[in-house]
Amino acid sequence: MLELLADPQVWLAFITLSTLEIILGIDNLIFIAILVGRLPPARQETARLTGLTLAMLTRIALLYSIVWLTRLTTPWFHVGTQAVTGRDIILFIGGLFLLGKSVLEIHQALEGAAKSASQTTKVYAGFVMTVVQIAVIDIVFSLDSVFTAVGLAKDLPIMIAAIVAAIMVMMWVSRAVSAFIERHPTIKVLALSFLILIGLALVAEAVHFDIPKGYLYFAMAFSVAVEMINIRLRRLLDSGKRDDEEAGG
pLDDT score at 94: 83
Whole-number pLDDT of residue 153: 61
pLDDT at site 122: 43
Q: What does the domain layout of the chain look like in residue ranges?
A: 2-211, 213-249
Give the per-residue pLDDT at 70: 64
Which of the two residues, 30 and 4, has the higher pLDDT score? Answer: 30
| DSSP β-ladder status, 82-85 and 75-79 | antiparallel
pTM for this predicted structure:
0.69
14 or 206: which leads in pLDDT? 206
CA distance 167 to 170: 5
> Rounded CA gap, 86 and 193, in Å?
27
- Taking the CA atoms of 22, 187, 49 and 94 in sequence, report the sign of the dihedral they define: negative
Q: What is the per-residue pLDDT for 152?
A: 62
Average pLDDT, the chain: 77
pLDDT for residue 124 = 47
Please say if the pLDDT value at position 117 is more than 50. no
Tell me the mean pLDDT in the region 105-120.
60
Q: 63 vs 154, which has greater pLDDT?
A: 63
Residues 55-110 have pLDDT tens digits of: 888 888 877 776 566 667 778 888 878 888 888 888 888 888 888 888 888 887 77
What angle separates helix 41-63 from helix 123-152, to the nearest 10 degrees?
Answer: 30
